[in-house]
């Protein structure tokens, strides 16, 4: 198939998260989580997360109104992030905990919910304790 496009180098450009109250969701993602706010449009808010655009949007049809996929935000110091967010009122379903000891790093995760109860996570690849 000579005309088949090479999708191996495709990058994630934008993800959409369903919300019910755009202003409340923008405040959470901007003020509580500290993501970089880009702009707002009718029924939508946009953020930058390491070059990937996050769109907070009210579902256009009832069948699209459901919790999002789980987004894993990668950080260096998951303990510090969890502590800072807890001080801002974020409740963690599971606090930072070790998921796996892998060659070269330990994988840590912590799960929380946004204002619309979408499950989200922080992840951290840390050097193994010696």
Residue 81 lies in a domain: yes
Q: Give the model confidence (pLDDT) of 32-59 as tens digits.
A: 999 999 999 999 999 999 999 999 999 9
**Per-residue DSSP letters for 53-102?**
EEEEE--SSGGG-S--PPEEEE-S-HHHHHHHHHHTTPPEEEEEEEEEEE
- Domain co-membership, 52 together with 90: no
Per-residue pLDDT, 130: 67
Nearest to 31 by CA among 96, 90, 98: 90
Q: Give the model confidence (pLDDT) of 96-105 as tens digits.
A: 999 999 999 9
Per-residue pLDDT, 107: 95
Q: Give the model confidence (pLDDT) of 58-95 as tens digits.
A: 998 988 888 888 889 999 999 999 999 999 999 999 99
- Domain co-membership, 38 together with 77: no
Domain extent at residue 30: 12-59
Residue 64 lies in a domain: no
- Domain co-membership, 129 together with 74: yes
Per-residue pLDDT, 52: 94
Residue 6 lies in a domain: no
Residue 29 lies in a domain: yes
Residue 19 lies in a domain: yes
Structure tokens at 69: 């996929």
**pLDDT of residue 5 exceeding 80:** no
- Domain co-membership, 26 together with 48: yes
Element (H, E) at 109: strand 105-113
Kindly report the CATH number assigned to the domain that includes residue 46.
3.10.180.10
- Domain co-membership, 39 together with 94: no
- Domain co-membership, 126 together with 108: yes
**pLDDT of residue 2 exceeding 60:** no
Structure tokens at 6: 């090479």
Residue 85 lies in a domain: yes
- Work out how many domains the chain is built from and give that number: 2
Average pLDDT, rounded, for the chain: 91
Residue 48 lies in a domain: yes
């Amino acid at each position: 198939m000579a005309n088949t496009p090479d999708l191996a180098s495709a990058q994630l450009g934008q993800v959409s998260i369903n919300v019910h109250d755009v202003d409340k969701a923008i405040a959470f993602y901007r003020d509580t989580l500290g993501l970089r706010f880009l702009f707002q449009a009718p029924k939508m808010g946009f953020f930058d997360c390491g070059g990937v655009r996050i769109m907070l949007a009210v579902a256009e049809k009832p069948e699209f109104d459901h919790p999002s996929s789980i987004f894993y935000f990668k950080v260096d110091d998951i303990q510090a992030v969890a502590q800072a967010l807890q001080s801002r009122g974020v409740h963690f379903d599971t606090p930072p905990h070790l998921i796996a000891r892998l060659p070269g790093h330990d994988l840590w995760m912590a799960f929380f919910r946004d204002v619309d109860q979408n499950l989200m996570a922080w992840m951290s690849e840390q050097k193994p304790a010696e």
